[in-house]
């Protein structure tokens, strides 16, 4: 470690040093901590040079107006820090060798803010009072009658109880029949996809990515050096024939077949079969992100892709299914899961173990009980109704205010809808309108890998109050209408 120059020959007499213990509030209220913090800052800041003799504890205590014992304790602390030295019979000295470290912590860089909370910000859910009461009761129970599992290291796949509860939920709602041993509980879909990239891909490997598609998934794939192949999405979902033409030997395809993000389309059965056929032929993996299927507002629940994939010639399925509690409960829970073909369980569990060992057992225990008690299913029913109302409210208010300038697609499921602008507007139109309306949510253009096509808004309607949504929808529609009117007028001139 670099050191300042030695000044052992410096005067050894006690000094009346300028110290202000009021300037060290971070040290707390205790006198010894404040005296220590002030001395430490003065030494590291160079105001007390190496080798300087410190005043006697009595003299410094008088100067600072503190108990003598506080100075004695502070000096002992400096001695154990290595910032001071005791010389028998001569007193306490600033150490001869000092680190050049700064007295104050360097300021942290400013990071972009996380998802906001303004109307239409995506990824928010309703803070339901009943759910939170039920969940806190379960958490309290797990603390007052703790499971021995909390006090040791667990299975990297997560607790057996939660995996069994997830398996039952998937069989009942998604047509997926799986052994709970093939489920790994993860920190959201984010970690599940990250595990897929670590275990299944080498840097440079090609992966099909829906275009437009989920930006976070794109970033995860890119973070491992994956070559993204943008595969177009139309009214029938990802076009596997186009994917084959672009990159037949890709190793993986990331898809949201039940409710494509952001367009909201459902992948047709013909497209699903085409995708699975390609995956089996190419020996590629299909990663199905089934992020919001619990919120289906009309029609029967759709069977997941993982529910229709059968074993190929190699005896195994090619679909890796990812689910999350970020939509059904709340994102701060950070719990999701991945359902794996049996052959992938061992490598995924090993990769998860070196990443962060295993999921938080306390949350898992409470969540497993929430699911088995029926409270989770009841919460989904309540939220389905709440979010359907929110969807209708936004669709209606934005359509009315936009006076034909926005085309609103009302989805059959999920927590967001898309409102599209006319195709002939300038490239900054959507961001200008969003800024004028004071709303959040993504622009359609922000979800595209290949720029082009009409821009528009991806509007999240969950986790915002109905009043805020209504006002924001009216503002956004009006801002879009005003923009289109000005643009048309400018063209006429």
By CB under 6 A, is residue 289 in contact with ligand PLP? yes
Token pair in block for residue 328: 């059904």
Q: Count CB neighbours of 171 within 10 A.
A: 13
- Count the Cβ atoms, other than its own, within 10 Å of residue 243: 26
Decide whether 73 or 445 has the Cβ nearer to ligand PLP.
Answer: 445
256 binds ligand PLP (CB under 6 A): yes
Q: How far is the CB of 447 from ligand PLP (least distance, A)?
A: 10
User: Among residues 93, 120, 208, 214, which is the contact residue for ligand PLP, using CB under 6 A?
Assistant: 214
C-beta neighbour count of 47 within 10 angstroms: 14
- Determine if 461 is a binding residue for ligand PLP (CB under 6 A): no
Question: Does residue 291 belong to the site contacting ligand PLP (CB under 6 A)?
Answer: yes
Q: Which residues contact 268 (CB under 8 A, 6 or more apart)?
A: 236, 237
Q: Among 359, 412, 357, which residue's Cα sits nearest to residue 387?
A: 412
**CB 464, CB 390: distance < 8 Å:** yes
Residues 392-451 that bind ligand PLP (CB under 6 A): none
Q: Which residues contact 432 (CB under 8 A, 6 or more apart)?
A: 483
Among 208, 261, 295, 483, binds ligand PLP (CB under 6 A): 261
Taking the complex as a whole, how short is the minimal distance between the CB of residue 214 and ligand PLP, in angstroms? 4
List the one residue from 70, 98, 189, 319 that touches ligand PLP (CB under 6 A). 189
Q: Is 73 in the site for ligand PLP (CB under 6 A)?
A: no
SS3 53: strand
Q: Is residue 119 near ligand PLP by the rule CB under 6 A?
A: no
Q: Which two three-digit tokens encode residue 40?
A: 């430490």
CB 280 within 8 Å of CB 318 = yes
Residue 267 binds ligand PLP, judged by CB under 6 A: no
Task: Please tell me the distance from the alpha carbon of residue 394 to that of residue 408, in angstroms, as a whole number.
Answer: 10
158: contact with ligand PLP by CB under 6 A = no
Choose which of 324, 413, 420, 445 interacts with ligand PLP (CB under 6 A).
324
- Eight-state DSSP code of residue 80: H
Q: Taking a C-beta distance cutoff of 8 angstroms, is the pair 174, 224 a contact?
A: no
Q: Which residues contact 316 (CB under 8 A, 6 or more apart)?
A: 341, 342, 343
Q: Does 359 bind ligand PLP (CB under 6 A)?
A: no
**Residue 400, φ and ψ in degrees, nearest 5:** -65, -45
Nearest distance in Å: CB 332, ligand PLP: 9
Least distance to ligand PLP, CB of residue 360, Å: 15
Enumerate the β-bridge partners of residue 100: none
User: Nearest approach, Cβ of 94 to ligand PLP (angstroms)?
Assistant: 51
Kindly tell me which residue out of 197, 293, 326, 447 binds ligand PLP, with binding defined by CB under 6 A: 326
* Residue 263 binds ligand PLP (CB under 6 A): no
Rank residues 115 and 202 by Cβ distance to ligand PLP and give the closer one.
Answer: 115
Rounded (10°) angle between helices 215-223 and 188-200: 40
Closest residue by beta carbon to ligand PLP: 188
Give contact residues for ligand PLP (rule: CB under 6 A): 122-123, 188-190, 214, 256, 261, 289, 291, 324, 326, 331, 336
């Amino acid at each position: 470690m670099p050191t300042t120059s030695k000044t052992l020959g410096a005067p050894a007499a006690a000094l009346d040093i300028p110290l202000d213990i009021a300037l060290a509030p971070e040290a707390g209220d205790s006198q010894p901590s404040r005296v220590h913090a002030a001395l430490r800052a003065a030494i590291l800041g160079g105001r007390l040079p190496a080798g300087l003799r410190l005043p006697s504890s009595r003299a410094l205590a008088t100067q600072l107006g503190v108990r003598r014992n506080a100075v004695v304790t502070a000096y002992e602390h400096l001695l154990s820090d290595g910032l001071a030295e005791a010389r028998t019979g001569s007193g306490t000295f600033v150490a001869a060798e000092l680190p050049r470290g700064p007295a104050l912590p360097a300021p942290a860089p400013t990071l972009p803010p996380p998802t906001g909370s303004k109307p239409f910000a995506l990824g928010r859910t309703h803070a339901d009072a009943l759910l939170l009461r039920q969940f806190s009761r379960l958490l309290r129970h797990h603390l007052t009658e703790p499971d021995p599992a909390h006090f040791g290291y667990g299975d990297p796949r997560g607790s057996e109880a939660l995996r069994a509860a997830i398996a039952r939920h998937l069989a009942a709602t998604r047509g997926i029949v799986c052994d709970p041993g093939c489920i790994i509980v993860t920190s959201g879909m984010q970690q599940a996809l990250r595990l897929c990239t670590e275990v299944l891909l080498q840097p440079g490997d090609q992966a099909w990515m829906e275009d437009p598609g989920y930006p976070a998934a794109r970033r995860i794939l890119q973070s491992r050096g994956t070559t993204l192949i943008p595969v177009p999405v139309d009214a029938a979902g990802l076009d596997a024939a186009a994917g084959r033409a672009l990159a037949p030997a890709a190793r993986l395809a990331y898809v949201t077949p039940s409710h494509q993000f952001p367009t909201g389309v459902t992948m047709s059965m013909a497209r699903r079969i085409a995708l699975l056929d390609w995956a089996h032929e190419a020996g590629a993996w299909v990663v199905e992100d089934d992020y919001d299927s619990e919120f289906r507002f009309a029609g029967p629940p759709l069977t997941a892709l993982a529910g229709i994939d059968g074993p190929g010639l190699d005896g195994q399925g090619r679909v890796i299914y990812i689910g999350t509690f970020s939509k059904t409960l709340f994102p701060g829970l950070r719990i999701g899961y991945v359902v794996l073909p049996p052959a992938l369980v061992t490598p995924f569990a090993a990769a998860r173990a070196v990443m962060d060992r295993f999921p938080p057992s306390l949350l898992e225990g409470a969540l497993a009980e929430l699911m088995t008690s029926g409270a989770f299913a009841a919460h989904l029913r309540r939220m389905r109704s709440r979010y359907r109302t929110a969807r209708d409210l936004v669709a209606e208010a934005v359509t009315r205010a936009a006076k034909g300038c926005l085309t609103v697609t009302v989805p059959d499921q999920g927590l967001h809808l898309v409102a599209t602008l006319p195709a002939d507007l300038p490239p900054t139109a959507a961001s200008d309108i969003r800024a004028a309306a004071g709303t959040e949510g993504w622009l359609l253009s922000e979800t595209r890998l290949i720029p082009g096509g009409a821009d528009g808004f991806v509007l999240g309607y969950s986790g915002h109050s109905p009043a805020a949504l209504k006002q924001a929808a009216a503002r956004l529609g009006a801002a879009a209408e005003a923009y289109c009117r000005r643009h048309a007028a400018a063209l006429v001139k």
